[in-house]
Amino acid sequence: MILQVKELSKSYGKKLAVNKISFSVEEGQIFALLGPNGAGKTTTLKCILGLRKEDSGKIYLGGTYAYLPEKKELYKYLTVEKMIEITQNISKMFRKEKAVELINDFKISLKEKIANLSHGMLTQVYISLVFAEDVDIYFLDEPTWGLDPLMRSKVIELVRKMSLEGKTIVYTSHILPEVEKVADVVAIMNHGKILELDFLDNLKEKYVACVVGKNENVEGYLFKETEKENVYITLKEKAIGKIEPVTFENIFEAIVRTDKRTANL
């Protein structure tokens, strides 16, 4: 195990941003932390990286790491080339040739000023700088935010390649089809809690939708209501009535929309 988080909590004043969450990540795994805005994903990453001090809980991080923050900001008045040079001077693990190769792959000129890059291009430069670090674990906070579909695929391809090389990836995202393409394990967060944590394949396997009459009660997440029927998303063994398959998106939506306590799972 390369990362273990145990009972981590963090508040900002009265706001409980992360509420006793636990998970662990194995070497070489791609671990996706999912959840709607404000779920507590960034705070979790920041506590792991020591950028925020947790209120309670234990964190074990057993390797070198690099971090792609949610706010992708680089020094505006430098060129991409200068940015690479500076990064090389401050980081022992940085491989200049790798950064240049990745930036060339994204078809961005090394002579370009950071200020002239579009949001997507800036993200690509930042991702290249992060992946050029020869570390054990990469923490990526919304690495594909603001990228067009082609570029998103490219980044996801990179994530997969790094994982094949034995690197560990922990990343946050809102984009479920993309997560589905690449993640080994997913943790679904809402209101500071992890509501579901499993291998993606297990998760898709263990839930089904069941359609029951209005007066029937199912232990599960109420997903849809029609005049005559209710549709629940529930664990296979708890399902009654007419059973239908569900997509990962359905499962995510149901878990995030319904409070776990009312779901009785």
Which stretches of the chain bind ligand ATP, using CB under 6 A?
12, 15, 17, 35, 37-43, 70
Q: Smaller CB distance to ligand ATP: residue 29 or 42?
A: 42
Identify which of 95, 90, 117 has the alpha carbon closest to the alpha carbon of residue 106. Answer: 117
241 CB-side CA count, 13 A:
20
Tell me, what DSSP letter sits at residue 70?
S
State which residue, 71 or 107, has the beta carbon closest to ligand ATP.
71
Tokens representing 163? 């994982």
**Considering beta carbons, is residue 98 or 191 the nearer one to ligand ATP?**
191
Residue 47 corresponds to which tokens in the numbers above? 């506590």
Q: Residue 35 or residue 220: which is nearer to ligand ATP going by CB?
A: 35
Least separation in angstroms between residue 32's CB and ligand ATP is 13
For residue 173, the minimal CB distance to ligand ATP (Å) is: 9
Rounded to a whole number of angstroms, the minimum distance from the CB of residue 35 to ligand ATP is 5
Closest CB to ligand ATP among 136 and 178?
178
Return the half-sphere exposure (C-beta side, CA atoms, 13 A cut-off) of residue 26.
Answer: 7
Residue 50, token pair as written in the block: 């020591």
Give the number of C-alpha atoms closer than 13 A to the C-alpha of residue 167, restricted to the C-beta side: 24
**In the complex, least distance from residue 7 CB atom to ligand ATP, rounded to whole angstroms:** 17
Q: Are 81 and 46 in contact (CB under 8 A)?
A: no
Name the residue among 225, 205, 203, 196 with its Cα closest to residue 213.
225
Residue closest to 251 by CA, chosen among 34, 25, 19: 34
CB of 152 to ligand ATP, least distance (A): 17
Return the number of the residue (140 or 208) whose C-beta is nearest ligand ATP. 140
**Closest CB 249 distance from ligand ATP, rounded Å:** 17
